[in-house]
A and B are shown apart, each in its own frame.
Chain A
Amino acid sequence: MSIQHHPSEELLTAFAAGTLDRGQHIAAATHLGHCPACRGWVKSVENVGGAVLAELPPAPMAPDALSRIAPRLAEAPHQSASRRDGDSLPDVPGLPAFVRALPAEPWVWVAPSLHVRRIELGGTSPTRVFLLKSGPGTKLLPHTHTGFELTCVLTGSFTHDNRRYAVGDFDMGTPEDEHEIEIGTDEACISLVAMQGTLRLKGVFGRLLQPLISF
């Protein structure tokens, strides 16, 4: 089973550069955990970062810059505290360790065959991150976004515009798209979603459901 849908090179470059917001970073990291090819590209960009850094013009440091940190060199070598990460999402496969350690709310029912579980970022990231669980064969209502939406499949599969997304696949929705998504019939589909803005459901039924999805 190989991954068909990858994040854009720009998104992966921004990941390696450390310039993504935290929600986007989490979505990209989730895909990277599944995708050796994209990990290779991130590594390349880090090498480019090293070459860029080495060739930057130097900015003068204070004359005593080195002697000022000298006393700190004598301190015991830094061991990153052997912190035991909590695991608030033990039942969800395919998440990076640092995401599993983030506090998560319980699953919440939002519509028939559709549950949402919010992951707490504890900050002011403009991106919301949540898990979306849909029963096999569920057809999600047509909807649009007011911002972008990054999705990485963790279990099962879905079809979006005739393209099939299975475990590890990455889908990037932009505000221009109109989304009609159908979950694969074989098993429930859990995805990690990082979303800016809100969902807008289409049609009368959609407008009735709108308050439910504004979690």
Chain B
Amino acid sequence: MGLAMAGEPVTPQEWSQCLSAVATHQDRAAFARLFEYFAPRVKTFMRRSGADDAAAEELAQETLLMVWRKAAQFDPATAGAGAWIFTIARNLRVDALRRERGVSARAGDIDAEFLIDGAPTPDAVLAGQQADARVRAALKELSAEQKRVIELSFYQERAHGDIAAVLGIPLGTVKSRLRLAMSKLRILLDDLS
């Protein structure tokens, strides 16, 4: 890899390239770059989902370890790199919450629960990087507040309550703003197709 790849990868294309390098020849330098960029952000994701600092750090490490182990399953034709790493973090968070509640489940079980049979329709599911670009374009059209409430939809109810308290608005208002923002996002995504 040349100098152009040094430092943090910052574009979805570079993340995809790093994942491919990990998948094809266990490239540790590429993995280190993914780790440096994504582990601290997955940690924030877990913190905002209600995990304490130590648990969030551990979940971030586990997520990146899964990225290393499953890199061969990443298919740039069907998923963007960010979305793929998001689904790994999400599944580990579901797993951690179940353990917390005393339900025994292995991460493999959670993956199966998000695996939906049935062929995707060509017009409903976009190729990975194209979808990534479209979502980014749509998100740019939203107001800062709408982006914020969309981010909220990725956290548990209890976190919604916490953030409603932080923003000083009722939980019901958070929810109605979220509904509006998601509808707008859906219209934008349909328009861009």
Contacts and interface: CB of A to CB of B under 8 A. Distances in A.
Interface string B36-49: 10111111110110
B41 A56 contact: yes
A43 B119 CA distance: 13
B18 interface: no
Interface residues of B, number: 84
Contacts of B91: 18
Interface footprint category on A: 35 or more
A156 B115 CA distance: 25
Contacts of A40: 120-121, 123-125
Interface in B86-117: 86-87, 89-91, 93-94, 98, 101-104, 108-109, 111-117
**Secondary structure class of chain A's binding surface, majority of residues:** helix
A122 to B, nearest CB: 7
> Nearest 3 CB-CB pairs, A to B?
A40-B124, A50-B82, A58-B40
Interface of A: 9-10, 13-14, 17-19, 22, 25, 29, 32-34, 36-37, 39-44, 46-54, 56-62, 65-66, 68-69, 72-73, 77-78, 80-81, 83, 85, 96-98, 122-124
Given A19-B153, A39-B124, 16 more contacts: A19-B156, A22-B103, A42-B116, A46-B79, A47-B82, A47-B134, A49-B87, A50-B85, A50-B86, A51-B135, A61-B57, A61-B61, A65-B35, A80-B108, A97-B112, A98-B113
29 contacts: A13-B153, A17-B155, A18-B93, A19-B156, A22-B103, A29-B116, A36-B120, A39-B116, A40-B123, A43-B125, A48-B139, A48-B150, A48-B185, A50-B81, A50-B83, A50-B85, A50-B132, A51-B82, A53-B89, A54-B41, A58-B43, A61-B40, A66-B32, A68-B61, A69-B61, A72-B65, A83-B108, A98-B112, A122-B103
